[in-house]
Amino acid sequence: MISDSTVEKLNNELNQTCKELKIPGMALTIYQNGNSIYENYYGYRDVKEELPITKDTIFGVASITKSLTCLIVMKLEEEGKLTGKDKVKAWLPDLKWPKEDYLKQLEVRHLMTHTSGLPGLPSIHNARIRSIMADPDGAFLFGKWQPDEQTMIKNVDELIEQISKMDFELLGPPGTVFNYSNEGFGILQKIIESASGMPFIKYVKEKLFSPLDMKDSFFLTKSIINRENVTELYAYKEEQAGIFHSPAWWDVGDIYTNGSWKTSAADLMRFAELLRLNGSFKGRKIISEDGIKKMTSTAFGLPNGSDYGYGMEINSIGEYTRFGHGGSIKGVSSNFQVIREKGISASILMNMADVPAEKILVSALNTILEKRAEEPFKKSQVLSDKQVDLSIFSGLYQSAEGNKASVSIQNDLLYLKQNKLLTCFYPISENDFIAKTGERIYFSRNGDKVTSVLIGKRVLEKVD
């Protein structure tokens, strides 16, 4: 248990954060050794009706789905139906790749670690666009997307066909370059269904949701539309001046593996506890310990300092290791974390996008652990403008996924502009830059020529 003073401190900090960020509703839960030590249900699932949030309120979780997808792959590996080292081509003989020799090297694990070599692509947007176009707020929230009937897709077969016909350059051989890829996780759905011999949703219900008694977990919008305890969705107005109710959910056609899971705090904590306990739940072994260790161990180290496992982000918190994942899409900001050494699992669900869910949750965990948040920016690490030629980084960067950023040099400082936000970054190596907030970006080069920048977990290629 934690002290009353710690609870009071957490309540004050979280309530203040929610007010400042105009968050309509939040469910934050922290367990230690399987017991709840802190819960905060802030605001409303329906602001107009003032309906409260509970542990059973259903939210979208977006890309936390990727962790679930990788756990399902590990379950299939345990059953002897596939392995992470299987060649993707063996499962998907119709898949085409820009470089045939790279396709021959491509393994299932490369899809799970975002190291397939795929650049940012528009295909998952092409599957999502029907629901965005049907949303009265779609153009405002997503941006003006100009698809045509020939580019719209609905299912994973059409996804694979579209990728096979697209003209793009791979970022590198499998296993060498990290780039967050929704398309890669979409491809995993076909492999899972081929290996299991079952539709993805049916297999997940049988192997995960039912054994964990997860009664509030779904993938289809139609499955939650008439349920009582489901959150409404909200969004920021221009320049985050306020919020507004925007009820339409966005789906990805019949592709579920990259971000379609919808669940409650109670169910998400069951999932987090399963990971903390190395595959056991209430004394029953649901999945092998070996599978969980593969998921939660470093598979690829990113040049900006963080690590990635199988659908799992791996970082430190003080002297401990934490692993988890987050998600963001319209009406969703989510994150979960596990600190196995301290017996801690935690989650946060909010009913609005563009909120720093991981930062809020990790701050709460620092308070619980009585840790002072590390100061990520150290002036002593910064190189002088004489040590790094900043001019070579100036220009426009983008991907076919729709992400854009521009880099400019002003008064011997490097500025990156993305989504109207201008941030100053300082060099800590010849390619690695850090902002005072701790955010890092990493540039790649071919000789003296800058070719791309890693922002967050996405590679944007230099086009100008």
User: Which CATH number covers residue 305?
Assistant: 3.40.710.10
Predicted confidence (pLDDT) at residue 154 exceeds the cutoff of 70: yes
What's the whole-number mean pLDDT along residues 362-386? 85
Among 201-210, 240-249, 302-311, the range of highest mean pLDDT? 201-210
DSSP state of 372: P
Predicted confidence (pLDDT) at residue 140 exceeds the cutoff of 70: yes
Last residue of a domain, one of 351, 374, 397: 374
Predicted confidence (pLDDT) at residue 146 exceeds the cutoff of 70: no
- Predicted confidence (pLDDT) per residue in 215-235, tens digit: 999 999 999 999 999 999 999
What's the whole-number mean pLDDT along residues 281-310? 94
Q: Are residues 409 and 355 in the same domain?
A: no
Predicted confidence (pLDDT) at residue 147 exceeds the cutoff of 70: no
Q: Are residues 353 and 398 in the same domain?
A: no
Q: Are residues 290 and 166 in the same domain?
A: yes
The pLDDT value given to residue 1: 76
Tell me how far apart the alpha carbons of residues 170 and 177 are, in angstroms, rounded to a whole number: 10
Closest of 296, 261, 289, 271 to residue 113, by C-alpha: 296
Closest of 98, 79, 57, 75 to residue 263, by C-alpha: 57
**Residue 393 · residue 407 · CB < 8 Å:** yes
Instruction: Select the more confidently predicted residue: 380 or 185.
Output: 185
Q: Are residues 22 and 161 in the same domain?
A: yes
- Predicted confidence (pLDDT) per residue in 318-365, tens digit: 999 999 999 999 999 999 999 999 999 999 999 999 999 999 999 999
DSSP state of 374: P
Q: Are residues 359 and 454 in the same domain?
A: no
Q: Are residues 227 and 193 in the same domain?
A: yes
Predicted confidence (pLDDT) at residue 143 exceeds the cutoff of 90: no
Predicted confidence (pLDDT) at residue 303 exceeds the cutoff of 80: yes
Q: Are residues 75 and 48 in the same domain?
A: yes
The secondary structure of 390-441 as a DSSP string is GGGG-EEEE-TTS-EEEEEEETTEEEEEETTEEEEEEESSSSEEE-TTS-EE
Predicted confidence (pLDDT) at residue 379 exceeds the cutoff of 90: no
What's the whole-number mean pLDDT along residues 377-392? 86
The pLDDT value given to residue 374: 73
Token readout for 323 is: 């692993």
Last residue of a domain, one of 374, 408, 424: 374
Closest of 102, 107, 75 to residue 91, by C-alpha: 107
Task: Kindly report which listed range (137-141, 142-146, 273-277, 454-458) carries the lowest average pLDDT score.
Answer: 142-146
What's the whole-number mean pLDDT along residues 82-107? 97
Q: Are residues 385 and 366 in the same domain?
A: no
Residue 459, SS3? Answer: strand
Predicted confidence (pLDDT) at residue 373 exceeds the cutoff of 80: no
Predicted confidence (pLDDT) at residue 414 exceeds the cutoff of 70: yes
Q: Are residues 118 and 167 in the same domain?
A: yes
Neighbours of 232 (CB within 10 A): 18
Q: What is the CATH number of the domain that holds 405?
A: 2.40.128
How many domains in the chain?
2
- Predicted confidence (pLDDT) per residue in 194-203, tens digit: 999 999 999 9
The pLDDT value given to residue 381: 85
pTM: 0.96
Enclosing domain of residue 427 = 379-462
Query: Which residues are 197's β-sheet partners?
Result: none
β-pair type (262-264, 284-285): unpaired
The pLDDT value given to residue 377: 78
pLDDT band at 87 (very low <50, low <70, confident <90, very high): very high
Averaged pLDDT of the chain: 95
Tell me how far apart the alpha carbons of residues 426 and 429 are, in angstroms, rounded to a whole number: 9
Token readout for 86 is: 């299987």
Last residue of a domain, one of 345, 374, 403: 374
Provide φ and ψ at 117, rounded to 5°: 95, -5
Predicted confidence (pLDDT) at residue 125 exceeds the cutoff of 90: yes
The pLDDT value given to residue 210: 97
Predicted confidence (pLDDT) at residue 65 exceeds the cutoff of 70: yes
Neighbours of 130 (CB within 10 A): 18
- What is the Cα gyration radius of the chain? 22
Q: Are residues 246 and 370 in the same domain?
A: yes
Predicted confidence (pLDDT) at residue 160 exceeds the cutoff of 80: yes
Q: Are residues 130 and 257 in the same domain?
A: yes
Predicted confidence (pLDDT) at residue 407 exceeds the cutoff of 90: yes
Q: Are residues 299 and 436 in the same domain?
A: no
Tell me how far apart the alpha carbons of residues 454 and 308 are, in angstroms, rounded to a whole number: 15
Task: Kindly report which listed range (16-25, 260-269, 371-380, 442-451) carries the lowest average pLDDT score.
Answer: 371-380
What's the whole-number mean pLDDT along residues 236-245? 89
Provide φ and ψ at 102, rounded to 5°: -70, -35
Token readout for 109 is: 């694990």
**Residue 265 · residue 361 · CB < 8 Å:** no
Instruction: Select the more confidently predicted residue: 385 or 165.
Output: 165
DSSP state of 380: G
Only one residue has tokens 């469910």, namely 27
Instruction: Select the more confidently predicted residue: 451 or 377.
Output: 451
DSSP state of 352: B
Tell me how far apart the alpha carbons of residues 166 and 240 are, in angstroms, rounded to a whole number: 36
